[in-house]
Amino acid sequence: MNNVPAPDDLYKLRHSLAHVLAQAVLKLWPDTLITIGPPIDTGCYYDFLFSQPISENDFSKIEKEMKKIIYQKQTFRCDTLNVADAKKYWKTHKQRFKVELIEDLAKNDGVETVTHYANLGPKGEEVFVDLCRGGHVENFGEIPVDGFKIMSIAGAYWRGDEKREQLTRIYLAAFPSKAELDAHVKMLEEAAKVDHRKLGRSMSIFVLSDVVGPGLPMLAPNGAIIRQELEGWIREELKRRGYSFAYTPNIGRADLYKKSGHLSHFKDSIFPLMQADDAEYVLKPMNCPHHVEIYKSDARSYRDLPLRLAEFGTVYRYEKSGQVGGLTRVRGFTQDDAHLFMRPEQMEEEIEGILDLAFTIYRTLGFNDFVLRLSRRDPKNMEKYIGTPENWDKAEAALEKVLKKLKLPFIDGVGEAAFYGPKIDLIVKDVFGREWQLGTIPQVDYNMPERFDIHYTDSDGTQKRPIMMHRAIFGSFERFIGVLIEHFRGHFPLWLAPLQVAIIPVAQTHEDYAAEIALLLKKEGMRVISLPHTDSLGKRIREGETRRIPYLLVVGDKEMELKSVAVRNVKTKKQVVVTMKEFMEKLKVDVTERKLEASIG
């Protein structure tokens, strides 16, 4: 989630600090061009075009200047200007990006006036002005000088367009107190230690190759095991809940996506068209048009509904090469996708079923802290959407009704809807308190059934239009695995772990017993390796810990004699001696019940 709710005091604090940051930068580098500086969920950022490069070495200098500004307890004055006067002001001050913003507001939103927020110094003098909609502290004295910190700088293209100027984005962390800031910084330090890009390499989960291309990760055997376990689990759940499975090709005719609306409303995220057999084709950006064609391939009766079509479908979205990385921003990924076709009277029950499925999946994985967002259209920007206002009203009302019926708290996400329908987004917090939007559960769509002119025969013999729902619980397997790596700090639950047990014989004389244990575990379907005695015991234990193998079984003379194993729990670092029988029993329970924590150690 990028935007903090506007009325919030924290929003005002962070928004005000963006003004302080811009003012400080202009004081230090007066010829800098300023662009935009919004609050975000941990602070704020501001984008600048510097005449000379800056670096981390400049952070302390900027922070020092910011504190000077805060100590002045500057206040805000709001001025409303017509578009012509506002443009004249910024042209006079040689700030062309502000002129462009005003021109776009006038052209795209039809605004006739804009607001400037001026900062006033101790004597009431004007010291800084920014183009802004407001939402600030009364004066800078309300900002704790020890509650913010410049975190990083990054490159950012103006308007996200690679053909435009590359700006310098300064990120600022901002909190109401030093204690909260320190806790945030510590969390970031801890999270950096388990960055999925780092652990993904050390645990051999995925591979990135410049030869293959940016944003196209490959799951190595260990990563494939994690995905297979997730796939198998959700496949079981879906079969139990009445879903059928489909497979669709990775490309389709451009006409298919013109009909669905994706080619016009999603064009910047679609890979370039390919010409073949006198027709244009594209890499599949979405599975939904294919599923509609499957529905349309047969006559449907009201008795056939709901039809729940699921697919682990690979899709391709064009992301700028500078924006892709690891598993969380990719160009090719596989969704646990499904599309449900139903009669109007079945809609509430299907929404409830999707929510129940999502809660089951996420809670099993230890995501108990989450927020539901009802993502609606933006009434001020209707050209972004397809479909009639009446259908949008019905779809939004249906989702809201179920959320209220189930007494589920939710936030209102105006403008967060997809172009073809409103949806409920599930935003989860990981163990570090970071928010991730992972699944869509569900998205109501009246528009695609109309575009593809699909029907069912009702009980009275008339042709009726079904309602369609889109849903993806994981979102994409790749991104979800990336989040899980960090959420679990690499210590996957036993059932998900690529390797579940490593057997470590103390000496060569114990290798036969180690092989006997390995065979027994493999017969039970466990994923096991042996680390032979050729390396020292300490080195082999460290190897097992680095690879995050949940259980290390150390076997020596005593264990051979008692037919037992010394079990080292890699996550807790605890070691206990148990019989093989007890170990096997607890192992089976941990796996079959998909327990989050291991039962031994």
Count of other CB atoms within 10 angstroms of residue 589:
12
Q: Is pLDDT above 80 for 75?
A: yes
| Within this chain, domains 9-190 and 501-592 share the same CATH topology | no
pLDDT of residue 389: 86
Q: What angle do CA 437, 443, 444 make, to 5 degrees?
A: 165
Distance CA 471, CA 475 (A): 9
Question: Active-site residues: which are they?
Answer: 288, 317, 335, 337, 339, 423, 470
The correct answer on CATH 1.20.58.410 for the domain covering 9-190 is no
**What is the β-pairing status of strands 370-376 and 410-414?**
parallel
Q: Which two tokens stand for residue 77?
A: 């004055």
What's the average model confidence in pLDDT over 290-299?
98
Element housing 514 (H / E): helix 511-523
Element housing 397 (H / E): helix 389-405
Q: Is pLDDT above 60 for 5?
A: no
Residues with Cβ within 8 Å of 383's Cβ and at least 6 positions away in sequence, in order, are: none
pTM score, two decimals?
A: 0.85
What's the average model confidence in pLDDT over 270-281?
90
What's the average model confidence in pLDDT over 231-242?
98
What's the average model confidence in pLDDT over 108-137?
93
Distance CA 21, CA 47 (A): 10
Supply the Cα-derived Rg of the chain in whole angstroms: 28
How does DSSP classify residue 285? S
Query: 176-181: which pairs have CB atoms within 8 A and are 24 or more residues apart?
Result: 176/9, 176/10, 176/13, 176/144, 176/147, 177/144, 177/146, 177/147, 178/144, 178/146, 178/147, 180/147, 181/146, 181/147, 181/148, 181/149
Question: pLDDT tens for residues 320-356?
Answer: 777 788 999 999 999 999 999 999 999 999 999 999 9
pLDDT of residue 44: 96
Q: What is the CATH number of domain 198-246+284-487?
A: 3.30.930.10
Domain limits of the chain?
9-190, 198-246+284-487, 501-592
Q: What angle do CA 526, 528, 532 make, to 5 degrees?
A: 160
CATH architecture, domain defined by 501-592: 3-Layer(aba) Sandwich (3.40)
Q: Is pLDDT above 90 for 117?
A: yes
Q: Is pLDDT above 80 for 540?
A: yes
Question: pLDDT tens for residues 56-65?
Answer: 999 999 999 9
The percent of residues above 70 in pLDDT, for the chain, comes to 99
pLDDT of residue 506: 94
How does DSSP classify residue 13? H
Ramachandran bin of 159, using left for φ above 0, alpha for ψ from -120 to 50, beta for the remaining angles: left
Span of 37-41, 318-322, 483-487, 493-497 with lowest mean pLDDT: 318-322
State which amino acid sits at residue 151: M
Q: Which two tokens stand for residue 126?
A: 């004007």
Q: Is pLDDT above 60 for 2?
A: no
Q: What's the mean pLDDT when you consider all of the chain?
A: 93
Q: Which two tokens stand for residue 438?
A: 């992972």
Residues with Cβ within 8 Å of 534's Cβ and at least 6 positions away in sequence, in order, are: none
